[in-house]
Amino acid sequence: MNKTITFTLLFLINNLLFSQDWKNIDVPVKLDEGYKWKLHPQSDDFNYQALGNSKNLTFKNRWVDSFHNPWKGPGLTEWNENFSEISDGYLKIKAGQKKGSKKINTGCITSKVRIKYPVFVESKVKISNSSLSCAVWMLSPDDTQEIDIIEAYGSDNQNNEWYSKRIHLSHHMFKRSPFEDYQPTDDDSWYFSNGTTWHEKWVRVGIYWKDPFTLEYYIDGEKVRVVEGMDVIDPNNYSETKGIYKEMDIIINAEDQTWRASNGLTPSKKELKDIEKNTFLVDWIRIYKPVMTDEFLSLQKQQELEKNKEVNEEKAIVSNDISPSIIENRESISVNTLTETEQVAQTKAINNNTIPEIVKRTSIEVAKIENNSKVPTDSLKTHNNLIKENLMNQEVTVKENSINIDYQSFTMHQTKDENDILEITSDKYINKVQLLTHKLNLFQEFTIDNKTTKLNVSKLPKGFYYINVLFDDKLATQAYTAKD
């Protein structure tokens, strides 16, 4: 059994590394400094064979040979595993008349692994010359959120001419009870390119699901459509202000859609006998996730080492024998400095109460500020212990926050009515938020105890920044570019 698993894994790895049909095609989306694209293992170049209702392990490791739930399809559609196959280097989604029935059999496959923003998905396809819908799309497990990477109707029938020259680039937000369906209806959701009839050529269609409120569509590597903002993504607020945020399955299929069939846009029995005319071809599908570059990771680690070094140096100073007069002098300076810092912080808080400044104090210094008096020298031992305890807590915090560096642990988007406000949300309680310059210098920092917070970025100098969010067990980070 172990040998079989090992062989299968090696085969999958080799297939991904050495047989990628897209290896010379760049991802058209440029990431911020410090990040690069990493290929997701759900990607598939279909350079193997998997036929009928007994598809092999290579296929089954990546795909389910059906829809993602027991539903068999809309209208006359009935998905059947015998109508999906992989051969000649292509995924083939076929269609034909079901024997002894008015039903139309087509193929449908679903990814084994779900994906979530930020992610880039692209597929090279040749849609069929049929009235059926040919689609590569994503759908949440509860069927409430959908992103259509490509949805096209390629028939050369006269009554389908308008659709045959367009590719539908859209998304849906659903409410299940009572059922409601929202999708954009603007003209740009139907992509038109100089009268191209799409079933006559291969085309690459991709989407960059950047965040819950931003979708970018790409045709043959060119960005052709951007959908962003709550008012376009989910104006009816079916997501309770969260946008398109759920994990999704990738689905590739063909179907006879009810709204088209009711308008006469459905294949005839004669047309369905022509298998070649009713076959949707997929050359490959690739999925990429953004990850930190090795250089960025090295900088993060170096920064953590420097912080640890500073903590250790302070700890060493405290542990040495220091005369009471030196301690008193140092603490007097700290009190004066903190008083000035507090004044600055208060002024900034008045002007910008959404980004409180952090004033770092030991427990002794807090007491000194409140009492406005020096610490008596006869309690020096107790004070030193308090300082040591504070420094040890800082060191533990640094170590905890360096356990795991993660890109996706929080969502960041500009609010609908306030473009200068970045809203940060997470499914975990956030301990601290840091704003760093592109050189990883700390620009601003504040602590919170909530799953959501807001950053006012209206006063930020133009440039590139990193936003770090610290949790109990990890450090998550995303990039931000201030344009003004």
Residue 10's CATH number:
2.60.120.200
**Per annotation, catalytic residue among 85, 122, 146, 365:** 146
248: left (phi over 0), alpha (psi -120 to 50) or beta: beta
Same domain, 444 and 431: yes
For 113, the token pair is 């692994």
Q: Which of 237, 258, 292 is the last residue of a domain?
A: 292
Cis peptide before 41 (omega within 30 of 0): no
Q: Which of 277, 292, 307 is the last residue of a domain?
A: 292
Same domain, 142 and 52: yes
Number of structural domains (the chain) is 3
Same domain, 82 and 213: yes
pTM: 0.67
Same domain, 6 and 128: yes
Same domain, 318 and 376: yes
**Per annotation, catalytic residue among 33, 81, 122, 151:** 151
Same domain, 288 and 417: no
Same domain, 458 and 346: no
Measured CA to CA, the distance from residue 72 to residue 81 in angstroms comes to: 11
Longest CA–CA span in the chain (Å) reads 101
Residue 439's CATH number:
2.60.40.3080
Per-residue pLDDT tens digits for 100-135? 999 999 999 999 999 999 999 999 999 999 999 999
**Residue-wise burial string across 145-165, b where 16 or more C-beta atoms lie within 10 A, e elsewhere:** bbbbbbbbbbbebeebeebbb
* Under 8 Å between Cβ of 50 and 244: no
Same domain, 105 and 233: yes
* Under 8 Å between Cβ of 189 and 170: yes
Q: What is the full DSSP assignment across 170-221?
A: EEEEEEETTEEEE---SGGGEEE-TT--GGGS-EEEEEEEEETTEEEEEETT
Measured CA to CA, the distance from residue 405 to residue 477 in angstroms comes to: 8
Same domain, 342 and 357: yes
295 is catalytic: no
Q: Residue 255 forms beta bridges with which residues? A: 133
Q: Which of 402, 423, 439 is the last residue of a domain?
A: 402
Same domain, 29 and 103: yes
For 123, the token pair is 């597929």
Same domain, 220 and 231: yes
- Angle at 215 (CA atoms; ends 178, 68), nearest 5 degrees: 50
3-state secondary structure of 33: coil
Domain residues for 147? 2-292
Task: Encode the chain (484 residues) as per-residue pLDDT tens digits.
Answer: 444 444 444 444 444 444 589 989 999 999 988 899 999 999 999 999 999 888 999 999 999 999 999 999 999 999 999 999 999 999 999 999 999 999 999 999 999 999 999 999 999 999 999 999 999 999 999 999 999 999 999 999 999 999 999 999 999 999 999 999 999 999 999 999 999 999 999 999 999 999 999 999 999 999 999 999 999 999 999 999 999 999 999 999 999 999 999 899 999 999 999 999 999 999 999 999 999 888 877 777 777 777 777 777 666 665 554 444 433 443 333 333 334 444 444 444 334 433 333 333 333 333 333 344 343 444 444 444 544 454 444 444 443 433 456 656 788 777 655 567 888 888 888 888 888 887 677 888 888 888 888 888 878 888 778 888 888 777 888 877 887 6
Same domain, 98 and 158: yes
* Under 8 Å between Cβ of 147 and 244: yes
33 is catalytic: no
Per-residue pLDDT, 368 = 36
